[in-house]
Amino acid sequence: MFKRWLLALVARVGLIVLGLCCCLSMFYLLACKPAAGSSQQLLLWSSKEGYMALLQEREVTHRHYINSLMKQIAQLKEALQERTQQLHESLDKAKTKGILPQGLESLHKTQTQSNLKLFRSQLNQAEVNSGVKLPSEYAVIPFDAFTLRRVYQLETGLTKHPEERPVRRDRRDELIGTVETALHILNGPQQHTDNIKRKRTYTPSDFIEGLTRTERDRGTVYELVFKGDSPQDFTQLVLFRPFGPVMKVKSENVDTRSMLINIIVPLSKRLDAFRQFINNFREVCIQQDGRVHLTVVHFGRDQIDQNIHIHSHLSFRETRFRSFTLIQLNEEFSRGRGLDVGARAWRRSQNVLLFFCDVDIHFTADFLTSCRLNAEPGKKVYFPVLFSQYNPSVIYSNQTLPPPVQKQLVIRKETGFWRDFGFGMTCQYRSDFINIGGFDRNIRGWGLEDVHLYRKYLHSKLMVIRSPSRGLFHLWHQKKCADELPPDKYKMCVQTKAMSEASHGQLGELLFKHEIEAHLKKQTAKAA
């Protein structure tokens, strides 16, 4: 009897479910059906092409809906995190004062609070808001620079490519996801509480460049730069991932219109290189940027000195450029001495951003922007890693003439390498340079003065930003190692000379050139 009743109940439930399915199907068909009275739309809807178009339209609609939901979830997570943090800070204060209401002790000891405290402790220990004293340059964790398409990194494993498109899916998803998180934050309702005046909606096309690095015992920091409301306005956003959810550290507007850069170049002879430098300076600094001062510290008083003076003034007279200083030193060349004199020669009252540069350096307007954004008085200095060019006569040996310099500035494995052992090109404010003690004036000639300055900053509380720069190039030139150099410096000079000539593979082809030619002759003879 019971069994018969159970079967009847199951049958009734099945009929009800079947009826509901039929109703849902009818509702779906009515929702997808074109407007009544349009036989042409009905025919299109019933065809295969119309059906695929309808599916594609629905897919786009659903994607927009999903993106909207993800944005709302991110905003809610951020708001919940901030409210939870505020709640527990209030509970901490109440407990300290002994006025914590009964019944809230368990809330005060929740797992969420312990997680937040752990994340906050990792954030406070990481080098995010202020610098950390480091024992030497070997303890520095360099940043990776990245755009939406490429990653520029120093540690590239077996591939040794100076730039790459993220091949590993987890790496690609991480960077794209971080940019998306930043966009959600910038466009979110909470953003008005920060130092940003929100005037528009940020999109992926507004993203310029990011820096990221991972401290293994703390987490990953991301410094992202977005376009602002004018060519000189930028929005900087710092995110931190403490081996958990991404946390917003800070976001602020940066107006670079009043940030003047004093480019200081020490010089001894080398008129051809100086002429090339002036051409680059005129194009980038005068015609494009317009917020620079050039200080040239020249050693020696021979005929070439007059040529440099005449050439620079004739070049600047065409553009009516007046922000130029030429300092004469009648003594033996010393790079550190020249930069130190140039930095201290600044006579204006306001603080100024210094860019220590060599005459064989080529830079872009984007690099000047990076220089302004990655240096801050009393907080951080910028030591970019430049891309060093190989010998063009080796790289372009299969061509009659090497291409123009602009065409040679390509970041590839075959054209050059990241000069991660050099610390000479740097952006820092004059006040920080003076407070740190400047260069070691006892160092003469070539090398080591930049390393000593770098170590001074590492031993201070200033944050050192060290990352590859895609807008800073060292142009190849014939290097001569002077006989009067001490053995340690002479060895460094020879090693630099060897590294700057060609890649490992290209040097191998030159070394085994005769074997390769003999092999080709044998193959040609066999084919004949």
Contact 204, 179 (CB under 8 A): yes
Question: What pLDDT, on a 0 to 100 scale, did the predictor assign at position 471?
Answer: 93
Each of the 528 residues of the chain gets a pLDDT tens digit; together they read: 444 544 454 455 454 445 545 554 544 444 444 444 445 554 554 566 666 677 777 777 776 677 667 666 766 666 666 666 666 666 666 667 666 555 555 544 554 455 555 555 555 555 655 666 777 777 788 888 999 888 888 865 555 677 777 656 777 888 888 998 899 888 876 554 455 555 678 999 999 999 998 887 678 889 999 998 888 899 999 888 877 667 788 888 999 999 999 999 999 888 888 888 998 999 999 999 999 999 999 988 765 666 566 556 656 677 778 888 889 888 888 888 899 999 999 988 789 999 999 999 999 999 999 999 999 999 999 999 999 999 888 888 878 888 888 888 888 888 888 888 889 999 999 999 999 999 877 766 556 788 889 999 999 989 999 999 999 999 988 877 878 788 887 888 887 777 788 877 777 777 787 888 888 888 888 887
Task: Show the beta-strand stretches assigned E in 81-229.
Answer: 144-146, 151-152, 163-164, 207-215, 219-227
- The CATH number of the domain covering residues in 261-477: 3.90.550.10
75 Cβ contact partners less than 8 Å away, ≥ 6 residues apart: 184, 188, 189, 190
Question: What pLDDT, on a 0 to 100 scale, did the predictor assign at position 517?
Answer: 80
Closest CA to 144 of 184, 171, 123: 171
What is the Cα–Cα distance from 118 to 135, expressed in whole angstroms? 26
**Tokens at 505, concatenated:** 């593979």
Question: What pLDDT, on a 0 to 100 scale, did the predictor assign at position 322?
Answer: 83
Neighbour-count burial of 410, counting CB atoms closer than 10 A to its CB (0-12 exposed, 13-18 middle, 19+ buried): middle
Backbone phi, then psi, for 498, in 5-degree steps?
Answer: -70, -40
The CA-based dihedral angle spanning residues 369, 373, 236, 196, taken in that order and rounded to the nearest 10 degrees: -90
446 Cβ contact partners less than 8 Å away, ≥ 6 residues apart: 335, 482, 485, 489, 493
Work out the angle at residue 216's Cα, subtended by the Cα atoms of residues 215 and 222, and round it to the nearest 5 degrees.
Answer: 35
Domain spans in the chain, listed from the N-terminal domain onward? 137-189+201-252, 261-477
Question: What pLDDT, on a 0 to 100 scale, did the predictor assign at position 90?
Answer: 67
Question: What pLDDT, on a 0 to 100 scale, did the predictor assign at position 214?
Answer: 86
Contact 335, 424 (CB under 8 A): yes
Question: What pLDDT, on a 0 to 100 scale, did the predictor assign at position 151?
Answer: 87
Question: What pLDDT, on a 0 to 100 scale, did the predictor assign at position 77?
Answer: 65
DSSP symbol at 334? B
Contact 75, 83 (CB under 8 A): no
Question: What pLDDT, on a 0 to 100 scale, did the predictor assign at position 364?
Answer: 95
Contact 133, 381 (CB under 8 A): no
**Tokens at 50, concatenated:** 């119309």
DSSP-derived 3-state class of residue 268:
coil
DSSP symbol at 141? -
The H or E element spanning position 86 is helix 48-97
Contact 357, 265 (CB under 8 A): yes
Neighbour-count burial of 465, counting CB atoms closer than 10 A to its CB (0-12 exposed, 13-18 middle, 19+ buried): buried
DSSP per-residue codes, 376-395: BTTTEEEEEEEEEEP-HHHH
This model's pTM is above 0.75 = no
